[in-house]
Amino acid sequence: MYFEDYDNNAQNEHGGDDVYSKPVRAGKRTYFFDVKATKGNDYYLTITESKRRIEHDGRYVYDKHKIFLYKEDFDKFADGLQEVVNYIRERCPVIETTHEPRHDVQFEEL
């Protein structure tokens, strides 16, 4: 993970107090799973994809995409994600090209 990714992620967030963050480095991308708290102390999740790229002048910039996920939608989101992950795995097996340990996604605990 690039320090700039982690540092700038919090600066670009609009609203919500930071409660917990889990950055996941995946190739050229970093994913941030951030737990935020509303003013009423209710939690929600933001998922941010950050990809570092080089501008024409040689500067590094970060393309970021963000999803806000509220707890009432966790089960539906997890079920949908698990379904499409299973679909892809059944039709296009993963060919491991790295030596990093693989962590399978489990959603039963959500």
> What are the sequence ranges of the domains in the chain?
3-91
In this structure, are strands 43-54 and 60-70 parallel, antiparallel, or unpaired?
antiparallel
In angstroms, rounded to a whole number, what is the distance separating the alpha carbons of residues 4 and 60? 10
Q: Is the per-residue pLDDT at 11 higher than 90?
A: no
pTM over 0.75: no
**Level-2 CATH architecture, domain 3-91:** Roll (3.10)
Confidence of residue 12 (pLDDT cuts 50, 70, 90): very low
Q: Is the per-residue pLDDT at 4 higher than 90?
A: no
In angstroms, rounded to a whole number, what is the distance separating the alpha carbons of residues 12 and 104? 30
Beta bridge partners of 67: 47
Q: pLDDT tens digit string along 41-86?
A: 999 999 999 999 899 999 999 999 999 999 999 999 999 999 999 9
